[in-house]
Chains A and B, each alone.
Chain A
């Protein structure tokens, strides 16, 4: 339950998009793979709902940031694999720099000013 609560944070659409794009940066991947990778690279903190992930994937596909094609896996099952497009790469760069600004700003807000902590 606690983890679910955390994963709700990601439902902020832009953030999930950013994470998905960032994940695909390391190469084409299918939906399950993306979910697993997000989970692993966030050390189990972020668990993406399939109900959020697939809409995000299809939305990004529609906007042209990622492209999908069917590949046959080693056990001859078809899997849908997503890869980053040039437009997606550009979007990722733009959003990442915005994210960095935002996280610096957030850090600044949460870092307590020295004068006030003493009172």
Chain B
């Protein structure tokens, strides 16, 4: 191998050596008596192609690859600079494709692929039982009783720990604020393998109900609210009105479960008729398998005779953390991959067209002694240059794209978002993708450009060199059309689904409504009466705000998050055991405020107080289900399993159904009670105040905040906002999904249109002469346009057919993301195909019209 800097010298020597060879050959011929010119010609012919001889001889030196690579890169950069339009279009197309793909990969990697940030996190499992027979338990877990019975009996796990998430109010440390917390069993942190940064975590003693209240802080909370005070351990802080001693601070980045800001010990009070479902995680013992763990869980359930029908589940912790975002992330990744493919196909197409016009250059270089491998290498280097340049730009786009994705994604919907970032792995991905696609999509045009017939190209006009290239370009555009159609169909389905979601009848009129939610702590408001007094005080102040038409309260506001559900007993009738109804409690005037239609009877009034007969209002579907044949007014229902004489509620009214928890569940059966008649503080702590304003409800929000502060300055606001923004928040995720995939599909459509335009324009350009002849022979404009469009249809029709088939095969993955529309909805398919065809025809029309204006004289003279 020769060092690159010595090569120049060797090159000169080789030139001299070969020149010497030639000179001697000529001299010998002259000496033999030939004329000098004849001798020169003969010697040259005998010698062969000087360039080739040099090339193949140099190959023997070895180590030339580096030199040639440099040469190719320099030459490639020069040719790219020489056609800036091509370079810019190709570079930006690819950079977009690679950037979007890398951004999406970064998110997928951060969320789905990268292990959880705990030591040996693959051994961490979520263990749970499903209770299919119980209508009350929708999410699996382990009941508190069973947890206490079994926590020390697991053999396949080295550690297990239970927890239950919740919210808590922090006061006396800046503004009062409501925080995500978790009550955790001793050992949760040890199970995860995370030690506190300061102080200690909980031991078994901390689980005693009689123990002193203690808390462990998260790093972020410690910094925000306690100034990162290193002496915070041992201080007391006020949570829900109770003073807690700080035991420790967790390290930065730790926020399990959910986005917990602080942790308190799990203190279980097992009481008859009440139970709690806990979440439990465990660390699998070395050598133990998931199947063994599952068998053990089954065994424990059977030994305990805990439930006659439970289904044990052992799930890798990562799956439960990542949850249902997996599917939509994979859909986006697939969509962005399609965009990248279309972008690559477009650039390959550009390269092919360019290669055709560069045939002469290739032919000249081949004639000057460049072998085909050398030419192919040159062209591949050129496109690799393009792709790598695009990869670098794409990485920059990815950084911005990831940031935008995380910002635009609905709050809290991307798990592990703190761990997502464009890192070495993502950059490696970008590089691999750009080099890989560059080689594949650059090699084909390179092989085509240098293929057989290069030598003939010198003789022929560059314009007439089509044939195979034309077919390949056509196939690429056809593929683009098909891929774009798949994406567009997916996007259209998501859009339509979103529109249908927004059109759902809610049963109340959200326009003009604003709501304020608070959670009154038991410590400050120890009785139902105390809470009711506070509620009434807030309501009175709200009612006096200028611009408020009516104010009311409800403990579980529709679409506000949590909802109480339960079964009911009906006097004189039996209901199916799984019949559950929502059970909100409301103040008088609630239905008027919400504009929920009263169908029968009356609303609650100020007279429905605790001492008055207890009453209820049922929603329309409850009335229809229970009393299809009689007037529901005056009937009696109860919340108690075995109602005593004082436990009956008399139905005084029937109202419309309302979508209670989410708008895609449609309307739910509900029974309402007056909040004044509730006796358990448990149902009163969480309360929303709903006001209807005469104008823009957003303007009422500051006065609503003031009303609450007047009543209790230490009470933080759980949430506040207009009802319409709350509804928007519940559909934020489908909207985000629809927008994202819509953006991808628009990019795909534009790229496909560019591809179509390019191919048609090119075919017009190379047929200018033919068109000129036709026009000269009397073909009309229509005929010319028709001729060009036929070329387009040949690509369009199969492309659309392929796309529809592809969409039918792939949109099924969307079904869980769609609302009220089937993934093969014919109307959507047809309209998308029509849209795509229309865009294609418009893109093809431009060059077709240009063709129809061809002046035969000019065309023929130029040809």
Contacts and interface: CB of A to CB of B under 8 A. Distances in A.
Interface of A: 30-33, 35-36, 49-51, 54-55, 57-59, 62, 77-80
- Most chain A CB within 10 A, of B28, B52, B53, is at B53
What DSSP secondary structure best describes chain B's contact surface? helix
B324 interface: no
A55 B20 contact: no
A80 B17 contact: yes
- SS class of chain A's interface: helix, strand, loop or mixed? helix
Contacts of A59: 60
Contact of A51 (B16, B24, B49): B49
A32 B60 contact: no
Contacts of A80: 13, 16-17, 20
B56 A32 contact: no
A7 to B, nearest CB: 11
Contacts of B627: none
A69 to B, nearest CB: 11
Contact of A31 (B13, B21, B61): B21
A77 B17 CA distance: 10
B48 interface: yes
B491 to A, nearest CB: 59
Contacts of A57: 57
A55 B21 contact: no
A58 to B, nearest CB: 4
Interface string B363-399: 0000000000000000000000000000000000000
Contact of B20 (A49, A51, A78): A78
Given A30-B21, A33-B24, 18 more contacts: A30-B17, A31-B17, A31-B21, A32-B20, A49-B48, A50-B21, A50-B47, A50-B48, A51-B48, A54-B56, A55-B57, A55-B60, A59-B60, A62-B61, A78-B20, A79-B17, A79-B24, A80-B13
Interface in B44-103: 47-49, 52-53, 56-57, 59-62
B23 interface: yes
A51 B62 contact: no
B53 A51 contact: yes
A51 B61 contact: no
B18 interface: yes
A54 B59 CA distance: 11
Interface residues of B, number: 22
A50 B13 CA distance: 16
A36 B20 CA distance: 14
A88 to B, nearest CB: 16
Nearest to B13: A80
A113 to B, nearest CB: 43
Contacts of B17: 30-31, 54, 79-80
B537 interface: no
A32 B59 contact: no
Nearest to B17: A80
B12 to A, nearest CB: 11
Interface string B7-32: 00000011011101101110010000
A31 to B, nearest CB: 5
Contacts of B13: 80
Nearest to A51: B53
B23 to A, nearest CB: 7
Contact of B53 (A33, A50, A62, A79): A50
Contacts of B60: 55, 58-59, 62
Contacts of B49: 51
B20 A54 contact: no
A35 B25 CA distance: 10
Contact of A54 (B23, B53, B62): B53
B644 to A, nearest CB: 106
B784 to A, nearest CB: 51
A55 B59 contact: yes
Given A50-B18, A50-B53, A80-B13, A32 B61 contact: no
Nearest to B20: A79
B52 A51 contact: yes
B48 A77 contact: no
Contacts of A49: 48
A77 B20 CA distance: 8
Contact of A77 (B23, B47, B57): B23
A105 B849 CA distance: 75
Nearest to B22: A32
Contacts of A78: 16, 20
A37 to B, nearest CB: 13
Residue from B17, B18, B49, B62 with most neighbouring chain A CB atoms (10 Å):
B17
B376 to A, nearest CB: 20
B343 to A, nearest CB: 43
Contacts of A33: 24
Nearest to A77: B20
A62 B59 contact: no
A58 B57 contact: yes
Contacts of B52: 51
